[in-house]
Structure 1
């Protein structure tokens, strides 16, 4: 009996399907999705956010962004060398800066070129970036993630609707917008940092902020929702704010509660006068 049990255990060890028959019946995770490639998390429908996402770069802005990226690459190498010489670990912001590579800067150069040529509308595919930069597709994917983590880039995944048989949606190219990373400027030379504002401009900005806060304090709930948010969400909150305003205001169409309170006060005063004549 003991020999039979041992032989069955050895057979299950050699054949996982006998030990877990339900698990063996499952399809492999690398199999084809039954409705096609699924839409990635965080994706929005193409054509719904482009107008508010893209920004036309100013004259010479893309060249300044590219020079900043190259300076950040050199600064990351210096930070990594200094940390190695001091025998310490890199801080979080230093690790992000040291993570920049020459391939990432090359990908950023292509994105800046597309932004300059297409008035800020940048939506290349991975294959286009790989062909334009002579880099591998995986290298391009890592470069985009590195640029986004450093603050040089903001990207948005998109999907589009399809027709015919098969899945109703499919993943399409991402959209990109190059940026100036404010969190890394302190590692760069002084010429790459924006000039500080003059004192009178700072005082004027503070006065404007105080006036704006005072103005918003005088608005009703409906007006505050319209001014602050706008759009579809602003309209919904404005309707809710209007209901709150109507409930909080006194009704001019039915002044009966005020008359009843006045008559009740008059009756109480007359009764008190009759009980205690002067």
Structure 2
């Protein structure tokens, strides 16, 4: 379930998308409660056809935890087409927390893919549209940004939130410590620009000592280049096995433990994380 088009006020056609969401669900998306009900209905629809996760590609990892009254007031301003950037940013932040609460209730795993400046070139975007290669990594602040969401649901053991990043500097400083203490958090594999042999190696080196192996989810793939999927998984398995082999050679891991971890990183952790 990927709701970016109906949770991000900066998404092209946002207000019309809300109308369409109402048409599809029969919910009154002109009201805050109706809008949330529409999301719940669509999530249930996706679950009915086998979906096990939601995915959220926000510009930042910023979250908020407003009171019901404040959230409703904010929604009403956004629904009227507010052009206040602070309000639009706050709405995106609130919706990440709302989606996390829905995941707690309906069991969908929540993926957060933040930190890309989408459509960096306005001329290319105007001529060709989105997803044409002009998406650029930005700096992220997960410790501050995620705190409102984590205050709300971070200690929920039945909730799984998988965090991805394009900011490698956050691996050891922020993401690994967060995943090491909050039961709801797991670390997604090296993503996008870092979905490469060296990027995967850096991910393991920078996260393992703090987060361990079992606060990660193995390797998953969301590429649109379907023929590349087997090769990507092969690369990930080779990188992980090379990392494990080094730990064995340095007498930091027994060989039998490395064999068990290799299978878990290649297969078991992904199945468990995504409830397959």
When normalised by structure 1's length, the TM-score is: 0.23
Q: Which structure carries more relative contact order (alpha carbon 8 Å, separation 6+)?
A: 1
When normalised by structure 2's length, the TM-score is: 0.23
